A and B are shown apart, each in its own frame.
Chain A
Amino acid sequence: MAILITPQTKILVQGITGDFGGRHARLSLDYGTLVVAGVTPGKGGQFFEHGAHRVPIFNTVKEAAHSTGASASAIFVPPPFAADAILECADAGLDLAVAITEGIPIRDMIRVKRAMAGSRTRLLGPNCPGVVTPGTGELSNGGCRIGIAPGYIHRKGNVGVVSRSGTLTYEAVYQLTVRGIGQSTSVGIGGDPVNGTSHLDIVRMFSADQETRGIVMIGEIGGNAEVEAARWIKAHCKKPVAGFIAGSTAPAGRRMGHAGAIVGGAEDTAAAKIAVFKECGIEVAVTPSDMADALIRAAQAMGVALG
């Protein structure tokens, strides 16, 4: 069944007329994703054309969702307006809002997260690569791709991947694919300190998803989200899990690219998180080249066939 999205999920793109949003809308259409609407205030009534595709553009998310049945949004809106774009998804009652935008002020995200408490809309991101549920076609075509991840590196299968970082997600997916192991869904939760969906949220979904037989969880320095997920895994998850934490060599107090990747105290170093992973029975990848192999080791130890 995959998590969050299926190949049948209809998506809309906020900021479809911008360079970045337009480019990735085209890539999603090429991947076979049902991109059914675009939203750009002031451009309602126009169309986003790509090959044989003619995607209607609406002024508001609500109109787009009502007219097309879109239930998920990919947000490519510039940082000063992104918080508003996220809240518009919640107001329209979408299932999922995926905020790709990098550089949203933390104060805006604090307010958005508070405002979305109790909302039926799940926020993924911001500053994330998005989510891919691979399809059954060639190079996983026919899947649902929301965001900026390369679709073609995926392959339909049974491993769930969750990470804060985009390129590390691709690295893990690619390692799995070249070993003949496909993915149920790969999810980037984003590198910001305040985000909508945590490692734990995704791990719980993978744990409950019948199609998912194993999980790769990738984290980094800063915060304690990976630790929280690891403790839950120890208590509740019966599937093999491999983990990797980036940033062993990062100096304290320096922000490593991601707004959230900064070592503040002893608890959020890579070493501390790796120690908790081990204590919780997660097979730790020794290097980033070892992520797929670590999962294979964990699966073998539990007698699980990854497919």
Chain B
Amino acid sequence: MNIHEYQAKALFEKFGIAAPKGVATKAPGEFTTALAMLPEGPIMVKSQIHAGGRGKGTFTDGYKGGVKFCKTKAEALEAAARMLGNTLVTVQTGPAGRKVQTIYFTAASDIKKEYYLAVLLDRAASRPVIVASTEGGVEIEKVAHETPEKIFKVIVDPAYGLADFQVRELASGLGLSGTESKNAAKVIRGLYAMYWATDASMIEVNPLITTPTGEVLALDAKVSFDDNALFRQPEIVALRDLNEEDPKEIEASKHGLSYIALDGNIACLVNGAGLAMSTMDIIKHFGGNPANFLDVGGGASKDQVVAAFKIILGDPNVKGIFVNIFGGIMDCNVIATGIVEAVREVGLRLPLVVRLEGNNVMAGKATLAASGLTIVSGDSMADAAQKIVKLVSG
């Protein structure tokens, strides 16, 4: 689960991580009051969406920049009015962009130097890792590619927690000393404490900055949480913004389905995440384009299959459907019955190819055949994938 920058900054405050003072607003009528809470001087106006690249983004009405530096509050007011309710397109949003529903005003900081700091999981070590770099304010992937020596890592032993020597190592690695080093240590300890206490999967601060007066501030914040741990993080769950999620994905999660919309035209309905990924791959391999990832899970019920069908048929780009089921324990006849029921309920004018294999497969195939519906059956994944690609392109 992702949260907005302004929500992350509120969490930062709780964990003693210094950041510029800021106020979030959701209505133009609140702009003046919000700005009045900030000190005089330049203001940053920041569109709040769950995607990176906001500063370099463009709104659908042509207005440039989802994050703006404004010299005065009057200027900030004007920029905020252009951004709120407008749709921002960045490298990460896709062409449709995201509607900006919250504006975050912060006091603009005097920047001495920019750094990068993040806490996340090191998979190879199975431990938390703190990643730091003297190259802040740019894409870290770019730094990793071009100047990998400028990135360094500290792996934390979860039995002991973050040790003081590791904090010193990070601060001196960033070239900080004196007051700056002390302030950076506070930020580093706060970030690690927050990562651990909130079940975060990643906290990224890019840039972290120093100011001429020796402050160390988190200028931006990108935070995501482990979905598996949300059951014990009610305060984090309360930060969820459904406006930022695909309505089809929300609907799917209500039915215990894992769905991700893609931009192709062949819808997939599969059991198991690995098989679902592979089904997308094999469609592409034979020249087609998958419209989604959809995993109905290992023990799908008839109702889930019906719900899954409704979700995939709600995508106007879909021109054909590929059902790929390996019923290990799952009864193929349950799936077949669900398919027939779904098709009867929602109607079907699109080609449907079904590949069923495994437990009770004969009964499942008989159910499909007896339904009188136009369903093409595939013998193997490869056979079925070629059939649906041909039907959709033909």
Chain A positions within 8 Å of B, measured between CB atoms, are 24, 27, 79-80, 103-111, 113-115, 129, 148-150, 153, 163-171, 174, 191, 193-194, 218, 220-225, 228, 244, 246-251, 253-261, 265-266, 270, 286-290
Of the listed stretches B11-19, B54-62, B119-127, B235-243, chain A binds: B119-127
A117 to chain B, nearest CB (A): 9
8 examples of A-B residue contacts, CB within 8 angstroms: A79-B231, A149-B328, A167-B271, A220-B274, A225-B123, A251-B262, A288-B275, A288-B279
Assembly CA distance A260 to B283 (angstroms): 23
Provide the residues of chain A in CB contact with B196, threshold 8 Å: 107
Nearest-neighbor residue (CB-CB) of B359 within chain A: A150
Smallest Cβ-Cβ distance to B381: which chain A residue: A289
Contact B258 A289 (CB under 8 A): no
Partner of A191, one of B262, B273, B290, B385: B273
Specify which of A106, A150, A191, A222 is in contact with B199 (CB 8 Å cutoff): A106
Contact status B121-A193, CB under 8 Å: yes
Contact A224 B121 (CB under 8 A): no
Question: Is the CB of B157 closer than 8 A to any CB of chain A?
Answer: yes
Fill in one digit per residue for B315-329: 1 if any A CB lies within 8 Å of its CB, else 0: 000000000001011
Partner of B277, one of A104, A257, A265: A257
Instruction: Give the shortest distance, in Å, between B235 (CB) and chain A (any CB).
Output: 15
Among B126, B226, B328, the residue within 8 A (CB) of A167 is: B328
Given contacts A106-B199, A174-B357, contact A289 B282 (CB under 8 A): yes
CA distance A191 to B272 in the complex (A): 11
User: Given the interface contacts A249-B280, A287-B285, does A105 sit within 8 Å of B141 by beta carbon?
Assistant: no
Q: A250 CB to closest chain B CB, in angstroms? A: 6
Partner of A257, one of B92, B262, B293: B293
Q: Are A170 and B358 in contact (CB under 8 A)?
A: yes
- Which residues of chain A come closer than 8 Å to B271, judged between CB atoms? 167
CA distance A290 to B228 in the complex (A): 34
Question: Given the complex, which residues of B lie within 8 Å of A221, measured CB to CB?
Answer: 277
When chains A and B are docked, how far (Å) is the Cα of A228 from the Cα of B123? 12
Cross-chain contact A194 with B158 (CB below 8 angstroms)? no
Which B residue's beta carbon lies closest to that of A20? B299
B274 contacts which chain A residues (CB < 8 A)?
Answer: 163-169, 191, 218, 220, 246, 257-258, 261
The proximity string for B residues 326-352 relative to A, scoring 1 for CB distances below 8 Å and 0 otherwise, is 101100000000000000000000000
Choice from B127, B228, B258, B357 contacting A110 with Cβ under 8 Å: B127
Using CB atoms, name the residue of chain A closest to B285: A287
Give chain B nearest CB distance to A263 CB in angstroms. 11
Asked if B278 contacts A168 (CB within 8 A), the reply is yes
Which chain B residues border A169 with CB–CB below 8 Å?
274
A174's partner among B285, B326, B383 (CB-CB below 8 A) is B326
A150 and B328 within 8 A (CB): yes
Tell me, rounded to whole Å, the shortest Cβ–Cβ distance linking A286 to chain B. 7
| Interface check B375, CB cutoff 8 A | no
What chain A residues lie within 8 Å of B326 (beta carbons)? 167, 170-171, 174
A260 to B389, CA, bound (A): 29
Considering the complex, which residues of chain B in the window 260-276 have a beta carbon less than 8 Å from any beta carbon of chain A? 260, 262, 270-276
In the complex, which residues of chain B have a beta carbon less than 8 angstroms from the beta carbon of A168?
272, 274-275, 278
Q: Which of A109, A148, A164 contacts B329 (CB 8 A)?
A: A148
Q: Which of A148, A218, A257 sits near B258, CB closer than 8 Å? A: A257
In the assembled complex, B214 has its CB within 8 A of some CB on chain A = no
Is B179's beta carbon under 8 Å from chain A?
no
Q: Which of B226, B275, B278 contacts A106 (CB 8 A)?
A: B226
A33 CA / B270 CA spacing, docked (Å): 29
Query: What B residues does A228 contact at CB under 8 A?
Result: 124
Please, how many angstroms separate the alpha-carbon atoms of A194 and B92 in the complex? Answer: 27
Q: How far is the CA of A193 from the CA of B227 in the complex (A)?
A: 13
B10 at the interface (CB under 8 A from A): no
Our pick among A148, A246, A289 for the contact of B298 (Cβ within 8 Å) is A148
Interchain CB contact under 8 A, B273 and A257: yes
B209-239 interface code vs A (CB 8 A; 1 in, 0 out)? 0000000000000000011110110000000
A249 adjacent to B124 (CB under 8 Å): no
Which residues 278-305 in B have Cβ within 8 Å of A in the complex?
A: 278-285, 290, 293, 295, 298
Contact call A286/B285, Cβ cutoff below 8 A: yes
